[in-house]
Homo-oligomer: A and B are copies of this chain.
Amino acid sequence: MLYMIGLGLAYSTDITVRGLEAVRKCKKVFLEGYTSILMAADKESLEQLYGKEVIIADRELVESGSEKILEDAKDDDVAFLVVGDVFGATTHTDLVIRARELGVKVECIHNVSVMNAVGACGLQLYKFGQAVSIVFFTDNWRPDSFYDKIMENRKIGLHTLLLLDIKVKEPDFKELMKGHLVYEPPRYMSVAQCCQELLEVEEKRKQGAYTPDTPCVSVSRLGAADQAFNAATLKQLSEYDAGKPLHSVIMLGHQVHDLELEYLLEYANDKEAFKAAVRKDQEKR
């Protein structure tokens, strides 16, 4: 049996009781280690809780070497641990498809994902449109397809959750060219960086999907003890230090309910200005 188990967002103890019971009976335990990180736990604290070794599975192992994971799961119980919930990334769906092909049984034990935990800021989950990924711009790769998706959401008044890029174990291409496999230090996109990219693309596209005054929410360390929100305009957040990673950003839609606004104002440094930004955004619809 292959147990696909969500670990939640921050602590080793964010695993469910049922998930922990499953891990403890597994012969091998893999932790998917390249699409996200647990903010308040590491390999050692997980191993201590589980009472067994945790094998970090990098992209190569999961995407090209998955038969190593699945072979054991034919005869024994194997756990594949994923930060957040199990189906946050296509790579995990793909693993299940390959398990099926090999006749390996799969059981999923779910957990919270950033996709539903963002409800903690007071915005209602059913008022979110499609979630959007924001990747690190490079000198010659500045993809802006997120812009159209945000525009689609905003046109119908919906909020947009922006999921920020994470580079956990990326080969250093300059070193690779010289024949050395060296990994870059981990990088996590910040709220400010995300908002700067958004401003740059609006500057270029000029289709009014949003403006520097569009109300947004900075989300830091969602689910950890030092979780923090900041409700401000896009421009303000492009200059804001949201602290330690992980970060996300929410761009509001004009369908903001009074109860949502009341809750959000708790997180605005300048409540009157934020309220005014929301009202102004609502007028444009």
- Taking Cβ atoms with an 8 Å cutoff, the residues of A that contact B are 6, 8-9, 11, 13-18, 20-21, 49, 85-88, 90, 93-94, 96-97, 100, 108, 110-113, 115-117, 119-120, 122, 124-133, 152, 156, 158, 163, 223, 259-260, 262-263, 266
Contacts of A11 in B (CB 8 A): 18
Task: Please give 9 more A-B residue pairs, beta carbons under 8 A apart, in addition to A14-B17, A115-B125, A129-B129.
Answer: A6-B112, A11-B18, A13-B16, A14-B16, A14-B18, A17-B20, A85-B119, A93-B263, A97-B262
Cβ contact of A125, chosen from B87, B112, B119, B223, cutoff 8 A: B87
What is the minimal beta-carbon distance from A27 to any residue of chain B, in angstroms?
21
What is the minimal beta-carbon distance from A18 to any residue of chain B, in angstroms?
4
14 inter-chain pairs at a CB distance below 8 angstroms, sorted by A residue, are: A13-B16, A16-B111, A85-B112, A87-B125, A90-B124, A93-B263, A96-B263, A97-B262, A110-B223, A112-B113, A126-B130, A126-B133, A127-B130, A129-B129
Given A88-B119, A126-B130, A131-B125, CB of A110 within 8 Å of CB of B9: yes
Contact call B16/A21, Cβ cutoff below 8 A: no
Contacts of A13 in B (CB 8 A): 16-18, 21
Give A117's nearest chain B residue, CB to CB.
Answer: B110
Contacts of A49 in B (CB 8 A): 17
Contact call A116/B126, Cβ cutoff below 8 A: no
Q: Roughly how many angstroms separate A87 CA and B163 CA in the complex, as a whole number?
A: 19
What is the minimal beta-carbon distance from A15 to any residue of chain B, in angstroms?
6
Give A111's nearest chain B residue, CB to CB.
Answer: B112
Cβ contact of A8, chosen from B16, B86, B131, cutoff 8 A: B16
Q: Roughly how many angstroms separate A163 CA and B125 CA in the complex, as a whole number?
A: 12
Q: Roughly how many angstroms separate A217 CA and B97 CA in the complex, as a whole number?
A: 18
Q: Roughly how many angstroms separate A113 CA and B13 CA in the complex, as a whole number?
A: 18
Contacts of A163 in B (CB 8 A): 126
Q: Roughly how many angstroms separate A17 CA and B85 CA in the complex, as a whole number?
A: 16
Contacts of A8 in B (CB 8 A): 16, 110
Contacts of A93 in B (CB 8 A): 119, 122, 124, 259-260, 263
Q: Roughly how many angstroms separate A113 CA and B119 CA in the complex, as a whole number?
A: 11
Cβ contact of A128, chosen from B18, B94, B130, cutoff 8 A: B130
Q: Roughly how many angstroms separate A119 CA and B90 CA in the complex, as a whole number?
A: 10
What is the minimal beta-carbon distance from A74 to any residue of chain B, in angstroms?
19
Q: Roughly how many angstroms separate A49 CA and B17 CA in the complex, as a whole number?
A: 10
Contact call B16/A88, Cβ cutoff below 8 A: no
Contact call A120/B86, Cβ cutoff below 8 A: yes
